[in-house]
Each structure stands twice: as C-alpha cells, then as structure tokens.
C-alpha cells in the first residue's frame, strides 16, 4: 500500500521573484510527480512544517513543477528564504483536478486575484495544450498595485494568443500604469462570454471570491458553472485530519475546487 504521508525529497532548481511578496519555485522531485491541473501538493520545509499549494506550471511537464508562493505565514516565510539546490519535500498530487472534459466547447471565464493567478496559470497551460477544444478563454485578473502583478513577462504573450482575451486591473495605479484601475468586480460587466455556455473559474482571496461570485450570479452565470478554489487549512491533504471541512466536504479531498452549486447552502465558506 502506498503511504500518502510520505514526502518525496525534491530539489529547488530555480527561484523567480514575481513581486516583492511572491516567488515562483522550480522544483524537481526525486520521483516523478504527475498532476492534473487544479490538484495540489503539500510542500515540506524539513523540520518545520508543510503547506498546501496548487502548482502553477503546465501539467504536461512531468519532471519538474513550478509552485508560486506568497510570503504569508510561518512556512512560506522560510520558503522565501530558500535558494536553489536546497531540498524540500512534496506530497501529492492531492485532491481533484479541474474537470476539463466538462469545459469542452464552452467559453472559459477565468477570474483571478493576487497570487490566486498561480493555479489559474497551470489551468491556462492545460487549456492551451488543447485549445481547439474550447470556444474562447477570457481572463480577468486583479492585483493591488502594478507591483503586485504576477507573471508580468507572460501576460503580454498570453494576451496575444488566438481565442484569448486577457485584461488586468489594479486597485491602485502608479505613474507608469496605463491599464484599468478598479476592483476586479469593475471589469466583470459585459464580458464576451455566453453565460448559457460557459464556465467561470475563480481563485483569489476569500473576500474577492465572494464578491466575484455575487457579481457572476448577478450577470446570469449559473451556480453549477462557477468553480471556486476553497483553499482552507489543510494538514493531511487526504481527507482524514478534519481541518479543511466545509459542510459535508473535506476540501482537500472533495476539492480543492468546488462549484458554487455545491457550496451555496454551506456556512462559513467565505471566511
């Protein structure tokens, strides 16, 4: 029987600074860890602890994985101090991936906030891998300031792709910022998607997900077509330890992505 608690030693190959608070780590595990986009891994900082992250890289790349991490807590602070060649641990993949099969022949709306673009970047790569299967990909991404935008080098490239409509907004601009200024909800009106044949995938801080969901419902998106990343406190990652429970779900095992249809009657989902 495989032991789901065992972490696979993995080497940090590169560290890319995205913003002052966010870094992308390129990690090569000793044993191949293949994942479906949307699944997550537990990253071990030896001797200190573990934290869950959804990889931000292309799931088609098998030998290494990129994980984009914000410096937000005890474990992530230590990760941010790590340099290439350091060993960490990986457990996973855990949870369920995005149901890409049900997304086929639909308009895909992706709404991200802050570091929430990380799992969505992996999703974008997975969609690009088979772009013929989807009608179009509309991305709306919000960050606090232009400095807080992740994947700055890639966004212009993605924006130029066929079938892709990518717009960025910031809460507060600066002297150089020529794009939209305003909360993410201000760029969700009159979206070029057919609400009757689309899915909306949302990932960001809870408060952002709450207001984006309300906005999407307002504009006619159906609860079953709204996918939310409910990332909670997760310790075991395999539905045993109880920390991430919402309603009847263990988010780690039944998610981490759940539809609003599944959660609409649940308590304490936005906190």
Partner 1 sequence: MKTFFISLNNFNEWIEALKSDFKIFLPYSKDAKYIISSPALRYEFNSYRVSVPTLKNVLFTAREKVAPEYETKKGKNIVFGLKSCDMASLPVLDFIFLNGAFVDPLYKENRDNTVVVSSDCIDSLESCFCTLVGNNPYPEKYFDINLSPLDDGYLVNIASEKGEKAISAKLLVQPSKDHLKEVELNRAKIKGHVSGQVVKQGFNVITNPQKAVMDNFTSPVWEEAAKTCVECGGCNLVCPTCHCFILSEHNFDKYRQYDACQYKGFALVAGGGNPRKKLFQRLRNRYEKKFDFFQKNINLNGCTGCSRCIQACIGKIDMREVMKKLVNK
Interface with partner 1 includes 264 (CB under 8 A)?
no
Which tokens go with 53?
Answer: 């992250």
Residue 93 or 146: the one with the smaller Cβ distance to partner 1 is: 93
Q: Which stretch binds partner 1 (CB under 8 A): 4-12, 140-148, 155-163, 184-192?
A: 4-12
Give the nearest distance from C-beta 240 to partner 1 in angstroms: 6
Residue 165 or 247: the one with the smaller Cβ distance to partner 1 is: 247
Going 169 to 173 to 177 to 180, the CA torsion angle's sign is: positive
For 271, residues 6+ apart whose C-beta sits below 8 A from its C-beta are 206
Q: Which stretch binds partner 1 (CB under 8 A): 73-81, 137-145, 164-172, 192-200?
A: 73-81
Q: In what order do the strands lie in the sheet with 65-70?
A: 49-53, 40-45, 87-94, 8-17, 22-29, 65-70
87 to 126, contacts with partner 1 by CB under 8 A?
89
Q: Which of 28, 43, 11 is nearest to 234 (CA)?
A: 43
Single residue of 119, 146, 239, 255 touching partner 1 by CB under 8 A = 239
Interface with partner 1 includes 148 (CB under 8 A)?
no
- In angstroms, the CA 85 to CA 198 distance is 43
Which tokens go with 70?
Answer: 């914000």
SS3 4: coil
Residue 60: how many other CB atoms lie within 10 Å: 12
Q: C-alpha distances in angstroms, 121 versus 84, 112, 182, 203? A: 22, 10, 22, 11
Please report, to the nearest 10 degrees, the dihedral formed by the alpha carbons of residues 208, 214, 218, 219 taken in order: 40
Q: Which stretch binds partner 1 (CB under 8 A): 11-19, 163-171, 187-195, 262-270?
A: 262-270
Interface with partner 1 includes 44 (CB under 8 A)?
yes
Give the nearest distance from C-beta 233 to partner 1 in angstroms: 5
Interface with partner 1 includes 47 (CB under 8 A)?
yes
Interface with partner 1 includes 245 (CB under 8 A)?
yes
Residue 181 or 241: the one with the smaller Cβ distance to partner 1 is: 241
Interface with partner 1 includes 259 (CB under 8 A)?
no
Interface with partner 1 includes 133 (CB under 8 A)?
no
DSSP letter at 132?
G
- In angstroms, the CA 80 to CA 72 distance is 10
Give the nearest distance from C-beta 146 to partner 1 in angstroms: 21
- Give the residues lining the site for partner 1 (CB under 8 A): 1-7, 9, 44-51, 70, 72-76, 89, 206, 231-233, 235-236, 238-248, 250, 253, 267-269, 271
């Amino acid at each position: 029987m495989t032991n789901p608690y065992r972490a696979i030693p993995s080497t940090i190959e590169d560290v890319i600074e995205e913003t002052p608070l966010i870094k992308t780590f390129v990690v090569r595990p000793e044993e191949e860890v293949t994942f479906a986009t949307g699944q997550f891994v537990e990253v071990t900082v030896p001797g200190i602890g573990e934290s869950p992250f959804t990889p931000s890289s292309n799931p088609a790349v098998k030998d290494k994985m990129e994980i984009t991490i914000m410096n937000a807590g005890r474990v992530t602070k230590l990760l941010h101090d790590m340099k290439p060649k350091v060993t960490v641990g990986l457990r996973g993949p855990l949870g369920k991936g995005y149901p890409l099969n049900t997304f086929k022949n639909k308009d895909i709306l992706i709404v991200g906030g802050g570091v929430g673009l990380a799992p969505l970047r992996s999703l974008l790569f997975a969609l690009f891998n088979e772009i013929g299967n989807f009608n179009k990909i509309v991305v709306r991404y919000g960050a606090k300031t232009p400095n807080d935008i992740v994947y700055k080098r890639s966004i212009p490239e993605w924006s130029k792709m066929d079938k892709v409509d990518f717009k960025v907004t910031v809460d507060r601009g600066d002297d150089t910022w020529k794009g939209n200024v305003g909360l993410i909800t201000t760029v969700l009106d009159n979206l070029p998607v057919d609400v009757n044949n689309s899915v909306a995938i949302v990932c960001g801080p809870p408060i952002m997900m709450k207001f984006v969901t309300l906005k999407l419902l307002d504009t006619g998106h159906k609860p079953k077509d709204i996918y939310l990343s409910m990332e909670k406190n997760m310790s075991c990652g395999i539905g045993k330890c109880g920390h991430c429970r919402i309603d009847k779900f263990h988010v780690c095992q039944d998610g981490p992505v759940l539809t609003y249809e599944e959660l609409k009657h649940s308590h304490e989902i936005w906190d």
